[in-house]
Amino acid sequence: MDSIRIVGGNELSGIIPISGAKNAALPLMIASLLTDETLTLENVPRLADVALLTRILVNHGLDYSLNGKRPGEDLLTGQTMNLTARSIVDTTAPYELVSRMRASFWVIGPLLARMHQARVSLPGGCAIGTRPVDLFLMGLERLGAEIDVEQGYVIARAPGGLVGNRVVFPKVSVGATHTVLMAATLARGETVIENAAREPEVVDLARCLNAMGARVTGAGTDTITIEGVDRLRGARHRVVSDRIEAGTYAMAVAMTGGDVTLEGAEAELLAGPIDILRRVGVDIEETNRGLRVRRNGGGLSPVDVETQPFPGFPTDLQAQFMALMTRAKGTSVITETIFENRFMHVGELARFGARIHLDGQKATVEGVERLTGAPVMATDLRASVSLVIAALVADGETTVNRVYHLDRGFERLEEKLGRCGAVVERISPN
């Protein structure tokens, strides 16, 4: 199993290209099940989760191809995928595949909309909490689906097709919004989703669906309206840039000092984190290439943060921000409101010498003068990259183990950091 070795102490300077967003690419790929024509997606990141979802979609009958490398491109440039689900040959998504990636459960929406039936495994537990699917099922039932749960599988049927309706989510759910939005595009009549997720990845999905012939309005607000159509066609769509990757590298620059341009990063997708980082003492400037991030010479100021749905501070940047606050000049409080078990990185950060006290969903971080390199272990995707951020300034050498978590969501991280001066290398067992 691969690990990453990091020697701390170097500032970061240069350019880091920001990949297409994993959290946008996955629902866009699933949307290809809604049409028998080809959906072409540009700027798709090369990630383990993308490869796994491709396998899952192939199981349903998807044909796919990847465009070859173009002149001037390198492997840090997103790939182009051509996805064609001409025939759905299997409406079952088996446990052995769904259990490896929760987002694959979302295929239930397109399968039900197009084939009027689906049998999808419950995704099971998750390292950062249970993340139940009750909102998904409630939304589909509101569209007329008959839902049963048998032997760990959700059996969904809509013999006469789905019918538009009003869907009111009791709490915001990105996954449930994606799923009901996709299902409603082929439902008869109008669907209104209230208390919908406002995340940019939802907006990106709606743009793609509209390019395919759907009639979606209101994406990016808490009320989305979908007028169902008889069929969707193929389209070409570019995946939005990854705001979580951009925020992560911005925090790495804030931690180490230096001057880095995050090429392709979009400020409007990062308004909350940018505001927080400026309060910490980081200079962030919009340029025609993306975002320029520099840390001033005054050190890091402590700032309290509470995770919230978009446009608030994202839970997917909480671990990275906690790593940053371990070196702040004072005490900060970080409150996690989205997931009930997203502090597993605390114990590993303590191995660097960080001082963090947990009380329920609050973490109190007392900044320290120095961190010391240590062998650490990644526990989930975002937690793993928080360890990288700490290692970049830790005295001596750090080895981050179980980096397959990183490969799920960060494209060629060691190459991107290495190009900007970090001493970082991947170690593969013989």
What DSSP string runs through 200-266?
HHHHHHHHHHHHTT-EEE-BTBSEEEEE--S----EEEEPPB-HHHHHHHHHHHHHH-EEEEEET--
Catalytic residue among 126, 149, 358, 427: 126
What single-letter amino acid sits at 6? I
Asked if 257 and 152 sit in the same domain, the reply is no
Asked if 51 and 138 sit in the same domain, the reply is yes
Report d(CA 379, CA 154) in Å as an integer.
28
Asked if 105 and 39 sit in the same domain, the reply is yes
Asked if 118 and 199 sit in the same domain, the reply is yes
pLDDT at position 69: 62
Query: Which residues make up each annotated binding site?
Result: 22-23, 102, 131-135, 171-174, 316, 338
The alpha carbon of 160 is separated from its chain's Cα centroid by a whole number of angstroms, namely: 35
Q: In 10 A of CB 72, how many CB atoms?
A: 6
Q: Cβ-count burial of 268 within 10 angstroms (0-12 exposed, 13-18 middle, 19+ buried)?
A: exposed
Residue with tokens 């538009």: 164
Q: Sheet with 355-359: list strands edge to edge.
A: 305-306, 331-335, 362-366, 355-359
pLDDT at position 126: 41
> In the numeric block, which tokens belong to residue 66?
């990847």
What single-letter amino acid sits at 370? R
pLDDT at position 78: 85
Domain extent for 361: 3-17+241-427
Query: Which residues make up each annotated binding site for phosphoenolpyruvate?
Result: 22-23
pLDDT at position 73: 61
pLDDT at position 101: 86
> Is-catalytic flag, 126?
yes
Q: Mean pLDDT per 10-residue run, the chain (430 residues)? A: 94 97 97 98 95 95 85 71 97 91 93 98 57 87 96 94 97 96 98 98 98 98 98 98 97 96 96 96 97 89 96 94 98 90 88 96 97 92 89 97 88 96 91
Give CA angle at 313 (309, 316), nearest 5°.
Answer: 80
**Final residue in a domain of this structure, among 172, 206, 238:** 238
Asked if 188 and 158 sit in the same domain, the reply is yes
Asked if 88 and 101 sit in the same domain, the reply is yes
**Final residue in a domain of this structure, among 191, 216, 238:** 238
Give the number of domains in the chain: 2
DSSP-derived letter for residue 163 is B
Asked if 218 and 253 sit in the same domain, the reply is no
pLDDT at position 408: 87
Asked if 89 and 180 sit in the same domain, the reply is yes
Query: Which residues make up each annotated binding site for UDP-N-acetyl-alpha-D-glucosamine?
Result: 102, 131-135, 171-174, 316, 338
| pTM for the predicted model, two decimal places | 0.94
CATH code of the domain containing 246: 3.65.10.10
Asked if 229 and 262 sit in the same domain, the reply is no
What single-letter amino acid sits at 306? E
The alpha carbon of 429 is separated from its chain's Cα centroid by a whole number of angstroms, namely: 28
The residues that bridge with 39 in the sheet, in sequence order, are: 83, 235
Asked if 140 and 213 sit in the same domain, the reply is yes
Asked if 345 and 359 sit in the same domain, the reply is yes
**Final residue in a domain of this structure, among 238, 261, 282:** 238
For 354, the 3-state DSSP assignment is coil
Asked if 72 and 151 sit in the same domain, the reply is yes
